[in-house]
Amino acid sequence: MPTQLEQLKTMTTVVADTGDFNAIEHYQPQDATTNPSLLLKAMQSDAFRPLGVEAMNWARQQNSADDVVALATDKLAVMIGCKLLEQVPGLVSTEVDARLSFDTMATVEKALTLISLYEEAGVDTSRVLIKIAATWEGIQAAHILESKGIRCNVTLVFSFAQARASAEAGVYLISPFVGRILDWYKANVPDQDYSGANDPGVVSVKAIYNYFKEHDFSTIVMGASFRNTSEIQQLAGCDRLTIGPALLEELAQSDAPLEQKLFTAKHVSPRDPVLSEQTFRWQMNQDKMASDKLGEGIRQFAVDQEKLEDLLIGLVE
């Protein structure tokens, strides 16, 4: 009997949510994705520190660099991305500095820098996704980048409004966060049954997936941030799922039958009027969970970005 991981791969593209090269080699996902928190974790390992030193030394040699540390972190992200591209046959996502989440043009400029660094490394940039937080400004930046042929992964998606605005902007892929939605409901509405299909993160992703398919949006739905294998099982059939090594291992250790839960729509409905900025902001304001988790996610990525920068500085002092 095939394992649940093997069964899942027949109905969903499995993405590794890690910068751990050994885990990627072991589980053989199609794609890989990173973020500042994962890069920070990787750099705390002795095996990765030489990459940090190399990135800092390279940045110091760039005469035009106004901010050596910022350029070094970009270079490090690209270096790790290049190594991941050697291991997976598909795509790798590289994240823009979360501190730019409310600045459309700064996000675009940072994305162009990352793509330029990939080009200098000889990478086929059609295999690179630029990862951007799902603020209104971030979604508009993704729209601009997509128009330039640069595909984007809009992340920290917690609400239907974020997902819909991203699809209407022509974004290649979104990452709705399943487990963090569950975290919020457990903390704020604790006396409920959130098991199985009742998991609010699962409910959110299913609604997004079904809306995209029903209205013929090409934007890929990639569920992320899982807390348990039940969430993954409930979303079997989703376009893509990005999964950490611990849960990949649980799936690999089980040979229980895995039922497909999500399917492409049989009928396509006309699209609704495009969501305006005012309506987007109002819907986000009215969704306390989404507002809380988006802000928290951006803050945490920003904190880890700063820790990563401090770590890089310490490597060459």
- All domains of the chain in start order, with CATH: 4-316 (3.20.20.70)
Residue with tokens 């990459």: 51
> How far is it, in rounded angstroms, from Cα 37 to Cα 223?
18
Q: What pTM was computed for the model?
A: 0.95
Residue of 75, 110, 131, 293 marked active site = 131
261 in active site: no
Say if CB 206 and CB 235 are below 8 A apart.
yes
What are the mean pLDDT values of the chain's consecutive 10-residue runs (317 residues total)? 96 89 88 88 86 93 79 95 94 96 98 98 97 98 98 98 98 98 98 97 98 97 97 98 95 97 92 96 98 98 95 86
Amino acid symbol at 204 = S
> How far is it, in rounded angstroms, from Cα 183 to Cα 293?
9
Q: Give SS3 for 152.
A: strand
CA 184 to centroid of chain Cα atoms: 19
pLDDT score for 43: 87
Phi first, then psi: give them for residue 220, nearest 5 degrees: -80, 135
pLDDT score for 47: 83
Residue with tokens 């399943």: 178
pLDDT score for 108: 98
